[in-house]
Amino acid sequence: MRLILTESRPLRLFSFTVLYVAQGLPFGLVSTALPAYLAEQGVSAGAIGSFIGIASLPWSFKLLAGPLMDRFSYLAMGRRRPWVMLSQLCLVLIGITFAFFPQGLENLVVLTTLCFLLNVFAAAQDVAVDGMAIDVLPPEEHGRANAFMALGQVVGISGSATISAFAMLHFGMPGIALMLTLGFGLILLLCVAVRERPGEKVLPWTEGRPAPRSLELHATNFKEIATNLAKALFLPASLLMLGVAFLFRFADGFWITVAPVVVVQQLGYASTAYSSWTSLAGFIAAVAGLIVGLWIDKRGAKLLYGSALLAYGALAVAVGLLELAWSEPAFLLAVLFLQAFVYQGVFVSFIATSMSLCWVKVAATQFAIYMAWANLGRSFGAGAMSAVEGRLSHNEMFFVIGLAFFVAVALAWKANLAAHRRRIEQLEGEDAGKLTPEFAPR
């Protein structure tokens, strides 16, 4: 059976969905289950924010991996697939490593270090997968593919958050190790089975050859990568969207740090309950997000991006104003579900917009810069908790979150994505003529 990404739309959608599950596993652990557990153990909000900020830092340095992946690869196995397989293998090994530190949950330094290493390879896998997606997905599939990828990430986040909360309570670090190792290991098997283009090797010792398209896109030196990157990255729409991405992730990082402190420490709910609610809301929102992907393919991402950012900001301000209602369970559940839905709209349109900004020749590097810059914003947002703790009340923190989203909306409104795509097409024409699709979606 030929499992070739460029030959089958269903296979593309399935494969990228599953590969994004792998990226969701660390997110659910680091951003939901562990902060809620630490809050339940009485760890201060500032320390929790520092943990999230440091453990998430590798996602801010994905741009270091992009040039390496654009420049080097074992093309006989595909342009991006060798990097995906290597990163996935490292994730399996790091998952096993968690079992060797059974006291890690009681030692914040050890826990932060392990989660930092986990995110190093999760971020590298993300760069490789995103580069592969831009290489093999036709533009008319970007919206629905990103919706499926977002669904995969949420499945990983939700499953990881729920299982991690249970595993920490009953088995400690060895339970987390088992969850990570099994999850990453199964996804590694998919990486081995699926190839990018016809004729490529399955494994280094099997028969195969580089695809002509991979040879055509392969950069011969770092100077070529840097020159092409500068041409695409410093266009006006690209710079504006970098600002939007940073503000979106800053505000969201602030939210995910404040929320468990309010719900678990201030209101007294169990960490397992918070993780379960968040996971359920995120999963339902991700399924609904599949419709968003189809809408993007027909209408474009910019309108949805701006609208979802505006809705997220309005929700944050409303939460800040309605502090007296925080103690009502129905209000908390409504906020959790509304936040999950608006976040999903922002996230899917954010990824689709970022893909549309990329020039395929330097896709891994350019897309990695967008994602790294956005995730740097997320680390700053999580770390901001320790900076404002004691200066702002919890409800005032939600006003700061809302303000960041409103500024992001203003920047997104000014970006001309159509003009950007015309310029990218000019660059492609100047470089090597128009690219010819090598597959027909089916």
Tens-digit pLDDT profile for residues 95-126: 999 988 887 777 888 889 999 999 999 989 98
Of 204 and 436, more confident: 204
Q: Is residue 175's pLDDT more than 60?
A: yes
Q: What's the pLDDT at 284? A: 85
Q: Is the pLDDT score of 250 beyond 80?
A: yes
373-396 b/e (C-beta count within 10 Å ≥ 16 → b): bbbbbbbbbbbbbbebbeebebbe
pLDDT-based confidence at residue 50 (cuts at 50, 70, 90): confident
Q: What is the pLDDT of residue 278?
A: 79
215: pLDDT strictly greater than 80: no
Residue in this structure with the two tokens 């660390």, named with its chain if needed: 26
The string of pLDDT tens digits covering residues 27-43 is: 888 888 888 888 877 88
Pick the more confident residue, 187 or 223. Answer: 187
Residue with tokens 């088992």: 178
Query: What is the mean predicted confidence (pLDDT) over 223-231?
Result: 84
Question: What size, in residues, is the chain?
Answer: 442
pLDDT band at 431 (very low <50, low <70, confident <90, very high): low
Average pLDDT of the chain to the nearest whole number = 84
What per-residue confidence (pLDDT) applies to 440? 38
- Return d(Cα 201, Cα 326) in angstroms, integer: 56
pLDDT reading at 293 higher than 80 = no
Residue 49 has pLDDT above 90, yes or no: no
Radius of gyration of the chain measured on its C-alpha atoms: 21
Mean pLDDT, residues 84-98 taken together: 94
SS (H, E, C) the chain: CCCEHHHCHHHHHHHHHHHHHHHHHHHHHHHHHHHHHHHHCCCCHHHHHHHHHHHCHHHHHHHHHHHHHHHCCCHHHCCCHHHHHHHHHHHHHHHHHHHHCCCHHHCHHHHHHHHHHHHHHHHHHHHHHHHHHHHHCCHHHHHHHHHHHHHHHHHHHHHHHHHHHHHHHHCCHHHHHHHHHHHHHHHHHHHHHCECCCCCCCCCCCCCCCCHHHHHHCCCCHHHHHHHHHHHHCCHHHHHHHHHHHHHHHHHHHHHHHHHHHHHHHCCCCHHHHHHHHHHHHHHHHHHHHHHHHHHHHHCCHHHHHHHHHHHHHHHHHHHHCHHHCCCHHHHHHHHHHHHHHHHHHHHHHHHHHHHHCCHHHHHHHHHHHHHHHHHHHHHHHHHHHHHECCECHHHHHHHHHHHHHHHHHHHHHCCHHHHHHHHHHHHHHHHCCCCCCCCCC
pLDDT of residue 300: 67
* Residue 333: predicted pLDDT: 87
Looking at residue 86, what is its pLDDT? 94
**C-beta atoms surrounding 439 within 10 Å:** 17
Residue 208 has pLDDT above 80, yes or no: yes
How confident is the model at residue 437, as a pLDDT? 43
pLDDT for 297 equals 64
pTM for the structure as a whole: 0.72
Q: Quote the pLDDT of residue 118.
A: 93
Q: How far is CA 291 from the centre of its chain?
A: 19
Cα–Cα distance list, 34 to 162, 282, 376, 434 (Å): 11, 17, 20, 49
Mean pLDDT of 219-236: 83
Phi, then psi, of 392 in degrees rounded to 5: -120, 145
State yes or no: pLDDT of 321 exceeds 70: yes
CA 139, 62, 108 angle in degrees (round to 5)? 135
Instruction: Check whether 188 has a pLDDT greater than 90.
Output: yes
Are 351 and 150 in contact by the 8 Å Cβ rule? The answer is yes
Q: What pLDDT score does 432 carry? A: 56
434 has pLDDT over 60:
no
Highest mean pLDDT among 154-163, 166-175, 274-283, 309-318: 309-318
Binned at pLDDT 50, 70 and 90, residue 428 comes out as confident
Q: 119-169: per-residue pLDDT in tens?
A: 999 989 988 898 888 888 887 787 778 788 888 888 888 788 888 888 887
Is 428 or 195 the better-scoring residue by pLDDT?
Answer: 195
pLDDT tens sequence across 368-425: 788 878 878 887 887 777 777 778 888 888 898 999 999 999 999 998 888 888 888 8
Q: For Cα atoms 179, 25, 373, give the angle at the middle one, nearest 5 degrees.
A: 155
206 φ, ψ to 5°?
A: -95, 170
Domains with residue ranges and CATH for the chain = 5-431 (1.20.1250.20)
Q: Measure the CA–CA gap between 179 and 164, rounded to whole angstroms.
A: 8
| C-alpha span between 404 and 252 (Å, rounded) | 9
Q: pLDDT tens for residues 331-364?
A: 888 888 899 889 888 888 888 888 888 887 787 7
